Amino acid sequence: MIKTSKHRIVRHPALALLAASGLLLTACGGSSGQTASGTAAGCDGTKVSVGITKSASDAPFYVANQKGYFKEEGLTVDFVPFDSAAKMIPPLGGGQLDVGAGAPSAGFYNAVARDVNLRIVADKGSMPEHYGYMPLMVRKELFDSGKVTKIADLQGLKVAEPAQATATSSTLSTMLASANLKYDDVKHEYIGFPEHAAALGNGAIDASLTTEPSATAAEQQGAAVRLATPPDFYDNQQLAVVLYSDTFAKDKAKAAQCFMNAYLKGARDYISAFDNGKLRAGAGDAIAKIVADASGLDAALYAKTTPNYVDPDGKVNVKSLQKDYDFFDKQGYLEGSVKIDDIVDTSFAKAAVAKLGPFKSSGS
């Protein structure tokens, strides 16, 4: 039964099939070492298409590529750029894209409910303590004047989110609840993260949940200050995940496993570059350069940001996914029913961990 409410979900039109080589950016991997498992795993020469948004949360992909981990697994990786993760869903569901990113949004679950077949296979961006990379920002003028110094002061004010019915909406709801406010006790504005700093600066919005590096940019421009960090209210929220198309997981299972092996090696190198959310000297500088170069970010700015966490074993916080799903359901955003356990596939990450062994931070 389709639920209706005053909120409407705007469906993304189905994307056309990916154009042949014109849309694909061939990965320019760094030097690779001895082939660890490519031939043995049957992955030698297999091509894998990977959707990216050229954001900092794509870091494990960049690191695995630059360090040659995909090549070690016998894979040739083609990065396909998208201007949002939501636009990856149709080609993933149709099998034209092998790997992509996703967020626990209502639109994502509505696509799954319409039989768009894909799987959540690993963590790509989460927010445990010290890794609150989507802080609650407030206009500096409001903070300095004393008008907004705590979450309760946001009642009736304009708060920006990137889009309607995303995981960010659940984050905001949880943070507002800590001050006995309901989700609709504030006015919601839907503005892309890169535009938050300008909107805060010109007074178009009063506050925002803003991902890095836009949050740090807003601070540096004197437009906003950090009012609160999500992990203090909602520990380890699952904001971004790695997705496999069902076709890739079933018909190219060996390649899917090889990809996960390489991905987790990249994720482990990435998270080892940080100590409680701060870049380590040496290894951290190298990782920062890889991410900044691949994403087009300013390296100095990236070094000052709060990073997203990526679990070194690829573990997905299923409880967080369920919490956000329940929020979407309560708000009337869902058009169908989805069981979270049915779309989370931990088998590839578990097999990769069995191969790689226990995680040991290179910085420890």
The owner of tokens 């039989």 is 115
pLDDT tens-digit readout, 284-324: 999 999 999 999 999 899 999 999 999 999 999 999 999 99
Please tell me the distance from the alpha carbon of residue 256 to that of residue 318, in angstroms, as a whole number. 21
**Predicted pLDDT of residue 347:** 98
Count the Cβ atoms, other than its own, within 10 Å of residue 334.
22
Q: Angle at CA 24, nearest 5°, toward 37 and 294? A: 75
Distance CA 57, CA 309 (A): 9
SS3 214: helix
pLDDT digits (tens, 9 = 90+) for 162-216: 999 999 999 999 999 999 999 999 999 999 999 999 999 999 999 999 999 999 9
User: What is the pTM for the complete model shown?
Assistant: 0.87
**């940019």: which residue's tokens?**
217
| Count of positions (residues) in the chain | 364
Q: How far does CA 224 lie from the centroid of its chain? A: 23
Residues 43-63 have pLDDT tens digits of: 988 999 999 998 889 999 999
Phi, psi for residue 130 in degrees, rounded to 5: 80, -5
pLDDT at 133: 97
The pair of structure tokens assigned to 136 is 């609650």
With 0-12 / 13-18 / 19 or more C-beta atoms within 10 angstroms meaning exposed / middle / buried, residue 9 is middle
Determine contact, residues 102/217, Cβ cutoff 8 Å.
no
Cis ω on the peptide bond leading into residue 162 (within 30° of 0)?
no
Residue 240 corresponds to which tokens in the numbers above?
């971004």
The tens digit of pLDDT for each residue in 56-109 reads 899 999 999 999 999 999 999 999 999 888 899 999 999 999 999 988 899 999
Q: Where are the alpha helices (DSSP H) in 222-298?
A: 246-251, 253-272, 283-295
What's residue 27's pLDDT?
A: 40
Domains plus CATH for the chain? 21-127+238-356 (3.40.190.10), 136-228 (3.40.190.10)
Q: Which amino acid is it at 331? A: Q
Euclidean distance between CA atoms 122 and 244, whole angstroms? 9
pLDDT at 286: 93
Instruction: Please tell me whether the peptide bond between 213 and the residue prior to it is cis, using omega within 30 degrees of 0.
Output: yes
Give the 3-state secondary structure of residue 160: strand
Q: What is residue 363's predicted lDDT score, i.e. its pLDDT?
A: 55
Residues of the chain by 3-state class (helix, strand, coil), percent to 5:
40, 20, 40
Structure tokens at 325: 């799903």
Q: What is the H or E stretch that residue 224 is in? A: strand 224-228
226 and 137 in contact (C-beta within 8 Å)? yes
Q: Give pLDDT tens digits for 143-161.
A: 999 999 999 999 999 999 9
Q: Give how far Cα 363 sits from Cα of 63, 181, 190, 355, Å.
A: 16, 42, 39, 21
| pLDDT tops 70 at residue 35 | no
Which token pair is 150? 């705590």
Please answer whether residues 48 and 76 qualify as being in contact, where contact means their C-beta atoms are separated by less than 8 angstroms. Answer: yes
Distance of CA 51 to the CA centre of its chain: 12
Q: What is the pLDDT of residue 42?
A: 62
Report the alpha-carbon distance of residue 273 to residue 62 in Å, rounded: 14
User: What ranges in 182-282 are assigned the alpha helix state H?
Assistant: 196-201, 214-220, 246-251, 253-272
Q: Say if residue 22's pLDDT is above 90.
A: no
